[in-house]
Amino acid sequence: MRVSILQRSAALTASESVPSSDAASFNPVSLTTPTYSIADLQALFSQVQALSSSASNPTLSVTPSISSEWFLDSTCCNHMTDNPHLTSAHTPPILPTITTADGSAMTVSHVGSISTPNLSVSNVFCVSKLHLNLLSVGQQTELGLNLFFSSRGCLVQDTWTRQIVGTARKVGRLFELTSLHFPSSSVSAPVIAASASIELWHSRLGHVSLPRIQTLVSRGLLGSVSSQSI
């Protein structure tokens, strides 16, 4: 009997020595695992994906603005872009290889046109490894365009109509295109051909003066050649 009384007393003393706050901390209810619905888990996963993507691609937010910028380039043999979505795209039988300044080579996947509110240009090379949009100065001059560079920017003028068909602003030491719409090829091509004929006769006749060539043209001695000055 005495032993049982001592056991009861020890049990009572132990229960009284435990603070109520500690007892509450061991409440089984407080250890229950929180429950989430499938929708909650999907939302959390989407947020983690977005954070991971932005961290691994710090320039992702500025990519659209970079791809919309076009720069005039006097060393570029042809208009080039890394944008694969060219209109009137086609793949010539023989595609050229582009050699960069460091000697490495880049391939042209196809050729097409660019048409936007600020830019209209054809015969554009798509070069996936380029990561820049370049407008060839030489290619523009072949279309009968004059480019006037200054400390403020550049003006692109149609040689024959004297109209300004394009502008570019100076950014550092680069010339970023503002707008450019090439003249119709159906109008420019005959004029360019006539200009080439005048230059050819100028060379054939020992570089005689332009007025002399115009006199010969007016008399019909040089065939069908434009008398417009070069």
* 68-78 pLDDT, tens digit each: 799 999 988 89
Please give the backbone phi and psi of residue 47, each rounded to the nearest 5 degrees, phi first: -65, -40
pLDDT at residue 197 in the model: 62
Asked whether residue 128 is domain-assigned, the answer is yes
Mean pLDDT score of the chain: 70
DSSP for 25-91 reads HT-GGGGPPP---HHHHHHHHHHHHHHHHHHH-TTGGGHHHHHT--EEETT-SSEEES----EEEE-
- Are 146 and 220 in the same domain? no
Is residue 32 situated within a structural domain? no
Label residue 176 by pLDDT band (50, 70, 90): very high
Instruction: Give 198 or 153, the one with higher predicted confidence.
Output: 153
Please check whether residue 49 lies inside any domain of the structure: no
Same domain, 208 and 194: yes
Q: Would you say 213 and 202 are in contact if contact means Cβ atoms under 8 Å apart?
A: yes
Give the CATH number, domain containing residue 106: 2.40.70
Cα 139 to Cα 111: distance, rounded to the nearest angstrom? 15
- Whether residue 34 is contained in a domain is answered as no
Per the structure, how many domains does the chain have?
2
pLDDT of 100 reads: 85
Cα–Cα nearest to 226, from 188, 201, 195, 186: 195
The least confident of 26-30, 137-141, 183-187 is 26-30
- Is a pLDDT exceeding 90 seen at residue 142? no
pTM (two decimals): 0.52
Q: How far is CA 162 from the centre of its chain?
A: 30
User: What confidence score (pLDDT) does residue 60 get?
Assistant: 32
- The mean pLDDT of 59-83, rounded to a whole number, is 71
Containing structural domain, residue 198 = 184-230
What is the reported pLDDT for 228? 47
Q: Provide the pLDDT for residue 210.
A: 75
The answer to the question of residue 166 being in a domain is yes
Cα–Cα distance for residue pair 160/56, rounded to 1 Å: 52
Q: In terms of residues, how long is the chain?
A: 230
Alpha carbon separation from 62 to 66, 71, 132, 162 (Å, rounded): 6, 17, 13, 37
Q: Highest-confidence range of 9-23, 54-68, 91-105, 152-166, by mean pLDDT?
A: 152-166
What pLDDT sits at residue 149? 95
Q: Which residues pair with 44 in a beta bridge?
A: none
